[in-house]
Structures are given as structure tokens and as C-alpha cells.
């Protein structure tokens, strides 16, 4: 609906994403995203006086990638566009953003495992890499974040004691 001319046909499809229940008409409940963030989308910090902003050097390349991933606004357009109703672009942006920064290191493994587990519990579908999510994302979140999430998930799964 971002661009259309008079006379254009609008096709309204049945809503596929069960993890985003319809509230009324075109309004859906996206609180599943909040629960995924609550599961691991945070970092631990010590209290006390503020740390110097430049105390921990971060490679420019990593800072740029983390910044790009952090631009995700949790709109859910990626889920709506995906034929499987996968939330992996959203989750991968959140995981990548923190995995690329030293501040995200303490919970790095538990974060990816917990967020993916919560995503599955919420009933989102599997990613089959159709790239529909990337095409519709208003913040141009790259699907390269999905590849990063898969590496993070594998690494965490192999090295975390149960």
C-alpha cells in the first residue's frame, strides 16, 4: 500500500501468521515479538558511574553492521510477507546487533538459544530463505543477519552445557 494508482487491484489474502492473532479488521497483536525480546534481547551492565564511551574499542566494520541490524523497528512486515510466517529476520537482527558488540558477549550463547526457543514457542514458521522478508523490510535489514544467527545458534548449541 506504499504506492498505488487509481484503478489498481488490491488483493487481500487470508492472514497466515498465527503468532500474530488478529484483534480486529487489519489490526494484529504483535506481543509475540515482545516475549522474544524478553527471552534474551538484552545485555547485563554493572551499576555505578557511566563507563567512558571509548573504553572498549570496536572495529568500524562491526559497529556499522551492528548499527544496521539495530535499525529493526519490530514492525512485523517480514512475518506478514513470509509464506511460512517466519520471524527469523526480526530475531536475527536482534541477535546480530548484540553478538557483534562486546557489550553483548556475556549473554551471547544463552541469548540466541533462548530467543530461538521463544520464537518456536510462539508458533512462527521456519525460514526457507525466500528473501521475501528482506524485500519488504522498511529498514532494509539484510538476510545476512539470518546467516549470522544460524552460526551463532550452532556455536551456542555445541558449546553450551545442558
Return residues touching ligand SF4 (CB under 6 A): 72-78, 89-90, 93, 137-139, 141
Q: How far is the CB of 10 from ligand SF4 (least distance, A)?
A: 20
> What minimum distance in Å lies between the beta carbon of 78 and ligand SF4?
3
Query: At its nearest, how many Å lie between ligand SF4 and the CB of residue 20?
Result: 11
CB nearer ligand SF4, residue 141 or residue 156: 141
Question: Following DSSP, what letter does each residue of 91-131 receive, concatenated?
Answer: HHHHHHHHHTSGGGSTTHHHHHHHHHHHHHHHT-B------
Specify the residue, 139 or 155, whose C-beta has the smaller distance to ligand SF4: 139
The helix (run of H) or strand (run of E) holding residue 24 is strand 22-24
Q: Nearest CA to 87 among 120, 114, 39? A: 120
Judged by beta carbon, residue 63 or residue 73, the one nearer ligand SF4 is: 73
CA-CA distance, 109 to 77, in Å (whole number)?
27
Amino acid at each position: 500500500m506504499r504506492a498505488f494508482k487509481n484503478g489498481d487491484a488490491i488483493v487481500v489474502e487470508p492472514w497466515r501468521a498465527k503468532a500474530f492473532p488478529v484483534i480486529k479488521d487489519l489490526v494484529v497483536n504483535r506481543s509475540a515479538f515482545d516475549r522474544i525480546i524478553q527471552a534474551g534481547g538484552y545485555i547485563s551492565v554493572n551499576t555505578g558511574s557511566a563507563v567512558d564511551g571509548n573504553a572498549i574499542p570496536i572495529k568500524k566494520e562491526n559497529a556499522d553492521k551492528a548499527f544496521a541490524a539495530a535499525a529493526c523497528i519490530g514492525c512485523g512486515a517480514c512475518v506478514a510477507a513470509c509464506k511460512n510466517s517466519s520471524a527469523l529476520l526480526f530475531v536475527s537482527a536482534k541477535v546480530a546487533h548484540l553478538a557483534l558488540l562486546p557489550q553483548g558477549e556475556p549473554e551471547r550463547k544463552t541469548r540466541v538459544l533462548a530467543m530461538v526457543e521463544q520464537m518456536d514457542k510462539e508458533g512462527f514458521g521456519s525460514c526457507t530463505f525466500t528473501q521475501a522478508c528482506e524485500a519488504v523490510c522498511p529498514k532494509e535489514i539484510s538476510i545476512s543477519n539470518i546467516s549470522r544467527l544460524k552460526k551463532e545458534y550452532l556455536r551456542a548449541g555445541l558449546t553450551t552445557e545442558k
